[in-house]
A and B are shown apart, each in its own frame.
Chain A
Amino acid sequence: MSQGQNQRAPTRPQTMVTFSIGPQRLAVPATSLLEVMDPLPVTRVPGAGRLVPGVVNVRGSVVPFADLGAALGLPRGGDVANHRFVVVEVDVGGDLSTVVIHADAVHEVASLHPEAILTASASLSPWPAEFLLGLYKSGDGFVILPDLVQVFSTLAKKPSTPSSNGTTI
């Protein structure tokens, strides 16, 4: 969590990249974004579960492909033509790792003033609060700020949900 709080600390406006998963808008700091690319073929990793179901070749590196929507309980959707891969660099269990996130659409680069960020309260928000740094209101409704460090470190620690028939491989 300490990492998460550090990210909340800055008082100067932060540059954020916003994207959608299903109907929900999300924003991640531009500093952790490596690139946005058209979807690439994903190789399924048997037994890896649905949260990090596969790997992708990103410029010669084998990078895990994460379904952030599934981790946050968001439904997928949108026009396939708008689907993008968002490549981020995140601290996973102590190591800086590259992870690919599926986005149903990528919107804009926006400047976000820290004072605009609201704390996601565990009881009120429909999203798992431990995975959120907060949220803010924009013209298109609430935008949530996922705590990528927390999400991926949790996924690395415990195996995500086993595959359908429970085979442990």
Chain B
Amino acid sequence: MIPDDLAQLFHEELRDLLDSLDRGLLDLRATPEDPALIDQVFRDLHTIKGNGAMFGFAELSGFVHGFETAFERIRSGAAKVTPEVIRLALRARDEIPGLLDGQAGTADARQALLSDLSAALSDGAAVHSATRVANPPSLGQQDARQTHWQTLQFALDGAAFDLGVRPDLILAELQTVGAVGFVAETDAIPDLAQLDPSVCHIVWTCDVPPGVGEEAIADVFMFAEATWTLVAKDPAPQAQPMPAAPAIDTADNPPTKTEAPSAPTPSAAPTVRVPAERLDALMDAVGELVIVEARLTELALNSQDAALLATAEQITRLANGLRDATMTLRMVPIRSLVGRFRRLVSELADHLGKPVNFVVQGEETELDKTLIEKLADPIVHLLRNALDHGVETAKDRQTAQKHSVATVTLSAAHEGTEVVVRIRDDGKGMDPAKIREKAVAMGLIAPEASLDRSQIFALIFAPGFSTASQVTEVSGRGVGMDVVKRTIEGLRGRIELTSEPGQGTEIALHMPLTLAIIDGLLVDVAGERYALPMGAVQEIVELPADKTNPDTTSDFLDVRGEFVPFLRLRAAFDCAGEAPRTQNVVIVSASGGKVGIVVDRIISTQQVVIKHMSKLHAHVRSISGATILGDGKVALILDTAQLITLGHHQAGSAGHARGAAA
């Protein structure tokens, strides 16, 4: 049985490998002769095969082996990459996840796919010259290897059995390269009392036929920590690349080689895979540290002891550094999702017969890992919609005097305290009249209702709404936009939609950064303390004397000629007591607009560790989280986007009331 954590690691790696395979195959379609890409694809396939075999997915590794064999023809330059090959290869790649969770198609279908693939590769049998440049092995080594049988001796390192290494599979794989005469040396096995069952104490030797190089052996040990030596039998002394050491049973033998459990791809920077919960634990610890640091600073300020103050200052600086470093660990560039989207768009464009140029901007934009995972499905949905409903056919585009290739853009960027992901198409746009008509027909709105443009567009997020007159395989069943909206709002994000008939549609997803620690502005409202994310704060002004009376109808503030609605937190939060004579207005802004928040007093700015509110408080809209202050008490963090909406809503209804009175 595979331990759960290993199985999970395997699944995670497989997912990454499949993504990389996707990317490689799609890039290969654009540049079919790039040897580096061909190698990349080959390496991915090989790793998938090896991992699959190691974890006992025989069918998977068998299939991928066939896949890999077919691709070997390309790698060796015997065949060329054609769009057909890529198409079949992508289909073959899609079989892989099914083989893993037991939901695969029939073996016959897979076999047919492989035959198609090798047939497609034989068609383009013309050998192309741009073959890969192999690392030429040193001649002497090559000669000895080519002409002499070799002796391979190997031992598995470390807690091999704990790591899931299967010696039987390794032996079987060695047999496939032609190894014979296996001898297991059991001398090193200790007495039962000293036996560590996770360590493999057996050392094997076997004979490897001429022509099998170190590379082939290294491939066998790709997924096992093993120490091995490969020595040509009776080699010519001058041709021996390694120090002549026929007796290879000593542990400190120089020509040994240790392979990492999985060969890292040379192109990728070295990375460490860490379970997310360990990062969470680290973040929690840093959070505690920041809280203690705030407490220390408070104590130091009270004591006025110079040495203590200096130390506290130093701790603050160190804690800041640690906080920043830890936070970046959790951030993942949106690029990790993009491969999936490119594949989707390319296939959908083919399927719908609409030529589409997919542009990605801001791939490097980083988002919290959990957020990225949850955004994938909504984005897939929006891209599908853009291609299916937004983009016209090439013919229609020509009629409309547009470039025949449509452009769909996915962009991501940081804006204030938010990350905004935009999906834009230059298609036919949405027709407000048509949406309205449909909404009336569905009984969503009354025929005489007067709605402005944005209100009409908002209707498409109603459950069951779809304007596509024809339900297609891709979309148009009317499920989706409401789900997208729910998902985004569940993550405390917002959706904005803009559309011009004939010009296209843009959907913007405004997501909170959900950083675990932010710079906060601490304010006092009727003796209660609240924190505002500093990133959203624009400026702080004093509440004009003529506005201090809560009964004044015009809750607008004139900020250098701009009218900003404001919200009295005392009223919004049902605070008891009288407001002080002077109050401050904190003007916060997000892409949703600006609003002034009236508070009693500004306390300070400080680092705020965001703690999430429990499910029991999930319905409280204007609070985005909580934090622990230096004195150990809890302060709530205000949700600025919600407050802006609330402020504008209130200003709107006040305006209505005035209009009715007049």
Measured CB to CB, the residues of A under 8 A from B are 41, 43-48, 52, 55-57, 60-64, 66, 92-93, 95, 97, 99, 152, 155-156, 159, 163-165, 167-169
Please determine whether B615 and A92 come into contact, CB atoms closer than 8 angstroms.
yes
Which 9 A-B residue pairs are closest in the complex by CB-CB distance?
A: A46-B573, A159-B619, A62-B611, A43-B634, A156-B615, A62-B626, A64-B616, A52-B616, A64-B614
Which residues of chain B from 571 to 608 have any CB-CB distance to chain A below 8 Å in the complex? 572-574
- CB of B635 within 8 Å of the partner chain: yes
Chain A, residue nearest B632 (CB): A57
**Chain B residues with a Cβ under 8 A of chain A:** 287-288, 291, 528, 572-574, 611-623, 626-628, 632-636, 646
Contacts A57-B628, A62-B628: A45 and B615 contacting too (C-beta < 8 A)? no
**In the complex, which residues of chain B have a beta carbon less than 8 angstroms from the beta carbon of A57?**
628, 632-634
Assess the B574–A165 pair: CB atoms within 8 A. yes
Question: Are A55 and B615 within 8 A (Cβ)?
Answer: no
Report whether A56 and B634 are in contact in the complex, using a CB–CB cutoff of 8 Å. Answer: yes
Would A61 and B622 be within 8 Å (CB), given that A43-B528, A156-B616 are in contact? no
CA A61 to CA B623, docked complex, whole Å: 17
B618 touches A156 (CB 8 A): yes
A41 touches B633 (CB 8 A): yes
Alpha-carbon distance A159/B636, docked complex (angstroms): 18
24 contacts between A and B (CB under 8 A): A43-B634, A45-B620, A46-B574, A46-B620, A46-B622, A47-B620, A48-B617, A52-B617, A55-B613, A55-B634, A57-B633, A57-B634, A60-B288, A60-B291, A61-B611, A62-B611, A62-B614, A62-B628, A63-B614, A66-B616, A99-B614, A99-B616, A165-B574, A168-B621
Taking CB atoms, residues of chain A closer than 8 Å to B288 are 60
- Which B residues lie within 8 Å of A45 (CB)? 613, 617, 620, 623, 636
Complex: A64 Cα to B619 Cα, angstroms: 13
Known contacts A43-B626, A47-B620, A55-B626; A62/B615 CB under 8 A: no
Task: Tell me if A97 and B634 are in contact (CB < 8 A).
Answer: no
B619 touches A46 (CB 8 A): no
Of the candidates A62, A92, A99, A167, the one having the most CB atoms from chain B within 10 angstroms of its own CB is A62
Chain B residues within an 8 Å CB radius of A164:
574
What's the least CB distance linking B470 to chain A, in Å? 39
What A residues does B646 contact at CB under 8 A?
A: 169
* Complex CA–CA separation, A45 to B627 (angstroms): 13
Complex alpha-carbon distance, A47 and B573, angstroms: 7
The smallest beta-carbon distance between B307 and chain A, in angstroms, is: 28
Q: A150 CA to B574 CA in the complex, in Å? A: 30
A93 to B614, CA, bound (A): 11
Inter-subunit contact A44/B623 (CB<8 Å)? no
A156 CA to B621 CA, complexed, in Å: 14
Given A46-B572, A63-B614, A169-B622: 20 more A-B contacts, CB < 8 Å: A43-B626, A44-B528, A45-B613, A47-B621, A48-B617, A55-B613, A55-B617, A55-B626, A57-B628, A62-B627, A64-B617, A66-B616, A92-B615, A152-B616, A156-B614, A156-B616, A156-B618, A164-B574, A169-B572, A169-B620
Complex contacts, B635 vs chain A, CB 8 Å = 43
Is B616 within 8 A of A155, CB to CB? yes
Whole-angstrom distance between the Cβ of A32 and the nearest chain B Cβ: 16
Closest to B618 in A: A156
- Judge whether A62 and B613 touch: CB under 8 Å: yes
**Once the chains bind, are B614 and A92 in contact (CB under 8 Å)?**
yes
Q: Which of B573, B621, B627 has the most CB of A within 10 A?
A: B573
* Residue among B616, B620, B626 with most chain A CB within 10 A: B616
Determine the residue in chain B with the shortest Cβ distance to A94. B615
Closest Cβ neighbor of A97 among chain B residues: B614
A57 to B629, CA, bound (A): 10
Residues in B whose Cβ lies below 8 Å from that of A66: 616
Residue from B623, B628, B633, B636 within 8 A of A60 (CB atoms): B628
Query: Which residues does chain A contribute within 8 Å of B628, judged by CB atoms?
Result: 57, 60, 62
